[in-house]
Amino acid sequence: MQHVEMKNIAKSYDKEHYVLNGIDLEIEEGEFFVLVGPSGSGKSTLLRMIAGLEEISGGILKINDKVVNHLRPKDRNLSMVFQNYALYPHLSVEQNILFGLNAKKVKKQEQKKRLTETAEMMGLTELLKRKPKQLSGGQRQRVALARSVVSEAPLFLMDEPLSNLDAKLRAHMRMEIRRLQKKLGLTMIYVTHDQVEAMTMGDRIMVLNDGKIQQVGDPISLYNNPANLFVASFIGSPKINLGQAMIKEEEIIIEDCLHIPLQNADITNLKKRDHLTIGIRAEHLFKGTPENKTHQLEIINVEHLGNETLLTFEVGQQFWTAKWLGQWQVTAGDMVPVQISIDNMHFFDTQTTELVQAAPNVTRDQGVIAI
């Protein structure tokens, strides 16, 4: 297993504009660490810098307490899986898997032992004599994984390896990669733009945007306590509901249309601010009853997903989504009672986008079940 440390890492191609700047990060041994962010955020560039495929413009990169800034990729004791599989089309599955070991001049007996174990682990035993063109996308991905696994490198880098697969196969491969990482005790650094992959796979997640770290933490912490509006909007599906808010007398007014009494809510820190944005998750827009409701909202769209129903409402200039468990026989145009509470709202400074106050109910870990 490998420990990776970055101190003030920066990357610039023209010495004026920085693709990455001020990256301070530690990745622990045996950790499944996910780099997530939108396209162009710098996550793949950072991964390639760790691999030695991109030069480091500034800062220090250490692997196992050894500075590796100018070390060649082959001397860093790591393996990498690319988005496009990078298989040799003229070689068989077996030859592709063993290509790196041949280059390192590993003994044939050792190669055969590793190949047998890895092929069995990855479900490739019956496919060893086939060429890549005879394989499905999922099988090619497993070959790319096997090629890295057979190297027995303790540091494993993956750059959006599942983006070319269909949804069902992606879900299966997420489980397989996670299981493989735990079984082999690998330190794995995984790049994705898919927040579902990040949430379901990572021990910890780093959210990156415009070359800067937005937040680092475990999935639940990022979901329940987003550091800013970007993290709140990026993490979670459906997307968090947002709205401009103002506090007036004993109520909060959202998007100039939703009035919510404050009652005994602790809003001392909020009263000092003029520009507030609230965020509330879809599962916290609760179904009300005619007798027990805070608001009556008109449905503008319904998505029936079988086990749950997504309903969309128009709130001022925003579209809000509610997620209700079960099958609800409602249609667009219906007026439905809902319950909206300040206890489930995050408050952000509209100008700085930073979190001002997290939702009290969420920070008390309501709904988090320990086994």
Task: Enumerate domains of the chain plus CATH numbers.
Answer: 4-229 (3.40.50.300), 238-363 (2.40.50.140)
CB 68 within 8 A of CB 61: yes
pLDDT at 235: 95
Cα–Cα dist 114/108, whole Å: 10
| DSSP symbols for 250-306 | TEEEETTTEEEE-TT---HHHHT-S-EEEEE-GGGSEE--SSS-SEEEEEEEEEE-S
pLDDT at 169: 81
pLDDT single digits (tens) 13-52: 988 889 999 999 999 999 999 999 999 999 999 999 999 9
The lowest-confidence range among 91-100, 299-308, 355-364 is: 355-364
Question: What average pLDDT does the structure give for the chain?
Answer: 90
pLDDT single digits (tens) 141-155: 889 989 988 998 899
Residue 118: DSSP 8-state: H
pLDDT single digits (tens) 165-214: 788 888 888 888 898 899 888 999 999 999 999 999 999 999 999 999 99
Whether 1 shows a pLDDT value over 80: the answer reads: no
pLDDT at 15: 82
Whether the model pTM is above 0.85: yes
Q: Taking Cα atoms as reference points, which of 287, 295, 289 lies closest to residue 311?
A: 287
Query: Which of 170-200 are b and which e, b meaning 16 or more Cβ less than 10 Å from the residue's Cβ?
Result: beebbebbbebbeeeebbbbbbbbbbbbbbe
Q: Taking Cα atoms as reference points, which of 358, 354, 355 lies closest to residue 342?
A: 358
CB 25 within 8 A of CB 206: yes
pLDDT single digits (tens) 52-109: 999 999 999 999 999 999 999 989 999 999 888 889 999 999 999 999 898 888 899 9
Choose between 104 and 273: higher pLDDT.
104
Rounded percentage of the chain residues whose pLDDT exceeds 70: 96
Q: Which residue has the tokens 């021990």?
A: 203
Radius of gyration of the chain (CA): 25
pLDDT single digits (tens) 124-136: 999 999 999 999 8
Whether 365 shows a pLDDT value over 50: the answer reads: no
